[in-house]
Amino acid sequence: MNSLIQKIILATDFSEASQDAIKYAKWISASLAAELKILHVFEPSGWMVPSPYYYTPGFEEWVETSIENTRQKGREALETLAESFGEHTETIFIEGDPSKEIVRVAAEQNIDLLILGTHGYTGWNHLTLGSIAEYVVRHAPCPVLTIKPSGSNELGTRTLPVPPRND
Q: Enumerate residues 6+ apart whose C-beta is below 8 A from 130.
A: 99
β-strands 144-147, 113-117: how paired?
Answer: parallel
Give the residue from 13, 83, 8 showing the smallest Cα distance to 42.
13
State residue 157's pLDDT score. Answer: 42
State residue 40's pLDDT score. Answer: 95
- Cα 118 to its chain centre, rounded Å, is 9
Q: Give the CA angle between residues 121, 127, 128 to the nearest 5°.
A: 95
d(CA 76, CA 65): 17
CATH number of 7-147: 3.40.50.620
Contact (CB, 8 A) for 41 and 145? no
Q: Domain segments of the chain: what residues?
A: 7-147
Model-level pTM? 0.77
pLDDT in tens, 76-89: 999 999 999 877 78
Residues with pLDDT less than 50, the chain: 1, 124-129, 153-159
